[in-house]
């Protein structure tokens, strides 16, 4: 629950990360629900549709992982 005016900080692995060879092998070997993940743009759109004001977004690609960060206010 977030009160009016509250700020949320979201850090999540990006679905785009599952395009690498290593991640394709990993998703075949696990029961990860990758098909229900949002990409960064879809996630931002969803937050805006549900009443959040986007303060900042960023993405980061490390050697093995790709993440996105969203800061939003209700």
CA within 13 Å, CB half, 38: 14
CA within 13 Å, CB half, 12: 19
| pLDDT band of 71, cuts 50, 70, 90 | very high
* pLDDT for residue 48: 96
| pLDDT band of 7, cuts 50, 70, 90 | very high
Give the integer Cα–Cα distance in Å for 73 and 34. Answer: 27
**Mean local confidence (pLDDT), 1-8:** 91
Q: Side by side, which strands form the sheet with 53-61?
A: 7-13, 66-73, 53-61
10 phi, psi to nearest 5 deg: -115, 130
Q: What is the reported pTM?
A: 0.70
Give the integer Cα–Cα distance in Å for 51 and 73. Answer: 9
Residue-wise pLDDT tens digits, 16-69: 666 667 767 777 777 767 667 788 888 899 999 999 999 999 887 766 667 788
Domain ranges of the chain: 7-73
């Amino acid at each position: 629950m977030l009160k009016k005016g509250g700020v949320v900080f979201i850090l999540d692995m990006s679905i785009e990360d599952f395009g690498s060879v290593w991640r394709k092998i990993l998703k075949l070997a696990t029961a990860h629900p990758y098909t229900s993940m949002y990409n960064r743009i879809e996630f931002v759109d969803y937050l805006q549709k549900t009443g959040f004001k986007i303060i900042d977004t960023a993405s980061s690609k490390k050697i093995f992982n790709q993440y996105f960060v969203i800061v939003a206010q209700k």
